[in-house]
Structure 1
Amino acid sequence: MIGHLRTVVVDCPDPRALAGFYAELTGLTVAEDESDDGWVTLGGPPGRHPRIAFQHAPDLRPPAWPDPERPQQFHLDVQVDDIEVAERQVLALGARRLPGEGDDFRVYADPAGHPFCLVYQ
């Protein structure tokens, strides 16, 4: 092993808003809010647990699942106990359902257009 995962960084047009979405989705809390500098981080202190950071990208060209011309670039899998309840909750937060699902997952886009999956069973 060379190192430990520190932070997954997500480009987006509004770091504070997207961090709020993922805080509600995952239960993570805001660790750093430097939104004036274009950066908000969820999770614990650096080096102890992986974190998710949201970086200001004003000219972001969001992915268009499943279009290979605009690939997903990254995605998060979020484990849930009840897919129907979780789906209602993420849609209420501003997510939207995307095409594609399997026996144990459904695909969504966050408010900035990044795909993520709710995984169940």
Structure 2
Amino acid sequence: RLERARTGNFLKHKLRSRPERAELVRMHILQETQVEPSLQATQMKLKRARLADDLNEKIAQRPGPLELVEKNILPVGSKVKEVINGRSCSYPPLTETFEHDCDYCVFSTLMHTLNPVPLP
């Protein structure tokens, strides 16, 4: 019985001293939203799904490693650059094709066999 009274007093104290909702929002524990509490979880799922879609779209449109080398964005050794620039066949930019793995494999093989400049 005494233990139960102590627990009750402890919980009452914690409830009285808990931070206000505005403080929890300021500390990013709760989110400021105008949505009903019963819909907040659904709203968060929708936001995450939109973010995932946006990120997947950006990833699908990013340039491949060979394009980055050609634009001097990705540093490589001179031998690698010679091989890439001297390629007899051209390749479509990765934003126009779904064959990302092909360019990556070519690039990866060149990087490992021709001793590239280490990345910073």
Q: Return the structure number with greater helix share.
A: 2
TM score, norm. by length of structure 1: 0.18
TM score, norm. by length of structure 2: 0.18
Q: Return the structure number with greater strand share.
A: 1
The higher radius of gyration belongs to 2
